[in-house]
Structure 1
């Protein structure tokens, strides 16, 4: 459209030294100069655009258009509505693309973080199970050597507790949807109106909260909600839909 001459509107009759031909030449040269200045601004805005500042970029481009119209008012030189709308649409499409890129980066980051968390949880399950199995073997020997009585009953009760703990760890390990959902905040880092919802499969969920405080912000997080669920994934999604979240 710019090459076709429809991008810039101007006076249809203009005389220079009483010459219409010279007038048309002046109008043409000023129109080209105007379009070049406008496109330079538009191209800069597109190049420097960020995902969430498109409104400011559109406002700046509109201001440039107004300035051109004011400076070119003598010869009625101005950018056409159609051409300006196309450049605004270019900014909007670019912003939409940048948002999608940011969302994909965030999705990849969250997936990598989930994989790291799952790997940590798996190592914790294995260590805890090994500890409990060792403790179980420690109690089996004395029980086998004791006859029925108070001491044997107490040891059998302790052994039953250990076996229940082993089963609990195995169940947690097998059910990848089980875990803790937490809601935390950090007024010092993010202000009073921001919370983070998280999900962890760790045996001690506060380990995850402490890691967030140590790694990403200068202050420790306050824990508002900490709930275990056999289907923590669904609980997390339900909360995530209802609360504005900052993701870390």
Structure 2
């Protein structure tokens, strides 16, 4: 019995021991992953090192990101420039390559380029074959075949180039240049099997021909516009001369009338007495004063006729047609410069012009030319500066005129005065009608003969 109890106790102790060992094993297994925490300092050092490594990597990524951002901005800018160039070229932007001052010089250069092409064709340098072919063992037949092929090749190329030159306009020169280059490449690729090609020198001559044809047309158009400007200036001069001559004749007639009236009054005063005589003497004083004024007017008319360059510089705006801060600056030699402004306000624009300044100049053409030079950068039309429209402030115009007055003495600085605000009556009334503030009135307008003539001139 005692032995049995002893055995049972041993078994129990053994079981407890085994269970204890198992629990210890479980605990060791459970806490094995925390072995690294046993050395806190070592763990912190490893953690700091890891953080530093990650920070270095992060800094490197940040620098890489900044570099990429810079590259992206540069690429976007280049893309924008390319898109802008492509957009501009789509409108036919073309940079002149010759800049001859007359169309005749373009024509001479055009003929010279044509002659050079003929010389290249005659010398067999326009299109060449790199291999001496034989046909049926005959070099002569091979040479004939090669010449026929090169002739056919040049005919095809010249035909495409001639079509391009015939079609060239201000807005398609770039596309036609591309067309000629593509034709050149396509024909040469087809000719590879025969080891033949159109030479690049001949291509360059064809491109020069295209450029010259384009610039020749541009120069011809420029010359036509210049001729129209000269004709308009001549008409303006003739009108001014007629007005001056008419004013001179009227002044002479007025002087004669005053002289006759004065002579008659003097004859009458010799026979008059009393109050009648006093009245006639007073009348004589008035007539003498009027005669002096008439003679002064006559002298001014004579002086104006002799001063062939005198005239007025006008500054006008049309905000209804062109917007704010856009001014037309021109010159007229008419006695009444407002007549020129009324002509400008004809059928070509929807609203009449407003006058901001009319300034007399003893040398109006020179003053106008200098003023346009001062404001050239402000010109609205950069291609045709003769349009005389400028996007500029009135203060800038006044400043330029003051410089001209100081430089040439042809303008009196004291007479440089500007009306700052444009009346723009019809335009402002139109805006009010559009806003529903007023009702449109029935038009009683009938065109004048001057406007009809102006429309005919514009149509011509």
- Asked if structure 2 preserves the Cα contact closer than 8 Å seen for 1:69 and 1:78, the reply is yes
> What SS does the corresponding residue of 2:121 show, helix, strand or coil?
coil
- Note if 1:228 corresponds to 2:360: yes
Given the two structures, how large is their TM-score scaled by the length of structure 1? 0.72
- In structure 2, do the counterparts of structure 1 residues 76 and 221 end up closer, same or farther at CA, with 3 Å as the change threshold? farther
- Take 1:241 and 1:68, find their aligned partners in 2: how far apart are those partners? 50
- Take 1:48 and 1:58, find their aligned partners in 2: how far apart are those partners? 12
Gaps of 5+ in 2: 1-119, 266-278, 380-384, 388-457
- Note if 1:211 corresponds to 2:343: yes
- Note if 1:39 corresponds to 2:158: yes
Q: 1:93 aligns with which of 212, 225, 234?
A: 212
**Displacement after TM superposition at 1:119 (Å):** 1.7
Q: Which has the higher helix share?
A: 2
Q: Which has the larger radius of gyration?
A: 2
**Displacement after TM superposition at 1:179 (Å):** 0.9
Q: Which residue does the alignment assign to 1:166?
A: 298
**Displacement after TM superposition at 1:176 (Å):** 0.9
Match runs of 1:137-216 below 5 Å? 137-144=256-263, 145=265, 148-149=281-282, 152-184=284-316, 196-214=328-346
- Asked if structure 2 preserves the Cα contact closer than 8 Å seen for 1:178 and 1:201, the reply is yes
- Asked if structure 1 preserves the Cα contact closer than 8 Å seen for 2:169 and 2:214, the reply is yes
Q: Deviations over 1:67-105 (max 9, x none)?
A: 445665666765322111111222233344444434443
- In structure 2, do the counterparts of structure 1 residues 112 and 158 end up closer, same or farther at CA, with 3 Å as the change threshold? same
Higher relative contact order (CA 8 A, sep 6+): 1
- In structure 2, do the counterparts of structure 1 residues 192 and 102 end up closer, same or farther at CA, with 3 Å as the change threshold? farther
**Displacement after TM superposition at 1:169 (Å):** 1.7
Moved more, 233-242 or 72-81: 72-81
- In structure 2, do the counterparts of structure 1 residues 231 and 49 end up closer, same or farther at CA, with 3 Å as the change threshold? same
- Take 1:183 and 1:204, find their aligned partners in 2: how far apart are those partners? 15
- Take 1:191 and 1:67, find their aligned partners in 2: how far apart are those partners? 51
- Asked if structure 1 preserves the Cα contact closer than 8 Å seen for 2:251 and 2:301, the reply is no
- In structure 2, do the counterparts of structure 1 residues 22 and 195 end up closer, same or farther at CA, with 3 Å as the change threshold? farther
Match runs of 1:97-112 below 5 Å? 97-112=216-231
Q: Deviations over 1:112-160 (max 9, x none)?
A: 32222222112212222333334444444554526554x5544444433
Gaps of 5+ in 1: none
Q: Which residue does the alignment assign to 1:122?
A: 241
Given the two structures, how large is their TM-score scaled by the length of structure 2? 0.43
- The alignment of Structure 1 onto Structure 2 pairs a total of residues equal to 245
- Asked if structure 1 preserves the Cα contact closer than 8 Å seen for 2:131 and 2:195, the reply is no
**Displacement after TM superposition at 1:225 (Å):** 4.7
